[in-house]
Amino acid sequence: MEDRSGSTGEGRGLVLVVEDEHAIADLERLYLSRAGYGVHVERDGGAALARVRQLRPVAIVLDVGLPGLDGVEVCRRLREAGDWTPVIFVTARDDEVDRVLGLELGADDYLTKPFSPRELVARVKSLLRRAAGPRPPRVLGVGTVLLDLERRTAEADGRPLSLTAMEFDLLAHLMCEPGRVFSREQLLAAVWGQADYGGGRTVDVHVAQLRAKLGAASPLRTTRGVGYSVSDDPDRRP
């Protein structure tokens, strides 16, 4: 059964936990949430594959011994589809063959039950540091809108903007990939660190507030029925 109780993070992104043992899943969610991550839990492999495509988590904590579609098969299908989201395998078995097989399939790390939840958090942090790759430029620009990521300042048409922390993070996330359309669910997961399927209105409200502050300089675009993007093309409709 799917667990939709996503936890709000602090901008670290959303971790997908795939675990059919409720007590273990609850413990993983508790410690990851305390570390500032949003967390979404799924109980079976098929549902997990669908959520990866929908939510685009920053990492997956994947139990190997899932009923039905097991964790090894989930990882194999992700990698075959070209999805290289970092994966930490969790297993009740400490078998070197299983460990090697998991790593050969593309798992990034491996934990054997029982494990310390603090160790899990440390592994997730370490894995994401390694997977981060090049940092985005210090200053993002689309059209006449400029964001300084370090100073957290914004301007449009040369005038300073007063943005809330969430408005800034939302605009920065969109401006990191100009032209890419993000669904409301993807934005909720990446910016708010949560998987609240009723929270699409939250995204709409923040986009409306940004457009009001940006005025004619706004690079925000709506793709009806899909989501939001930014573009400096003046011919694209908002």
Q: How many domains does the chain have?
A: 2
E-state strands within 14-120: 14-18, 38-42, 59-63, 87-91, 109-112
Whether 59 shows a pLDDT value over 60: the answer reads yes
For residue 238, being part of any structural domain is answered with no
**Percentage above 90 pLDDT, the chain:** 47
Count of C-beta atoms within a 10 Å radius of residue 152: 12
Could you tell me if 120 and 222 lie in one domain?
no
Could you tell me if 38 and 149 lie in one domain?
no
Could you tell me if 88 and 173 lie in one domain?
no
Give the model confidence (pLDDT) of 181-204 as tens digits.
999 888 888 887 766 555 678 889
* Domain of residue 44, CATH code: 3.40.50.2300
For residue 45, being part of any structural domain is answered with yes
For residue 166, being part of any structural domain is answered with yes
Which of 115, 89, 86, 84 lies closest to 100 in space, CA to CA? 89
Whether 93 shows a pLDDT value over 80: the answer reads no
Give the model confidence (pLDDT) of 150-184 as tens digits.
888 999 999 999 998 889 999 999 999 999 999 98
Given this model, what pLDDT does residue 13 score?
86
Contact 59, 128 (CB under 8 A): yes
Whether 12 shows a pLDDT value over 80: the answer reads no
Given this model, what pLDDT does residue 103 score?
65
* Domain of residue 219, CATH code: 1.10.10.10
Given this model, what pLDDT does residue 128 score?
85
Could you tell me if 90 and 156 lie in one domain?
no
Q: Which domain holds residue 112?
A: 3-131
3-state helix, strand, coil in the chain (%, to 5): 40, 25, 35
For residue 167, being part of any structural domain is answered with yes
Could you tell me if 35 and 90 lie in one domain?
yes
Which of 118, 117, 72 lies closest to 91 in space, CA to CA? 72
Given this model, what pLDDT does residue 191 score?
83
Could you tell me if 55 and 113 lie in one domain?
yes
Could you tell me if 94 and 144 lie in one domain?
no
Distance of CA 149 to the CA centre of its chain: 19
Which of 95, 114, 131 is the C-terminal boundary of a domain?
A: 131
pTM score of the predicted model? 0.62
For residue 235, being part of any structural domain is answered with no
Given this model, what pLDDT does residue 3 score?
43
Could you tell me if 122 and 204 lie in one domain?
no
Given this model, what pLDDT does residue 112 score?
86
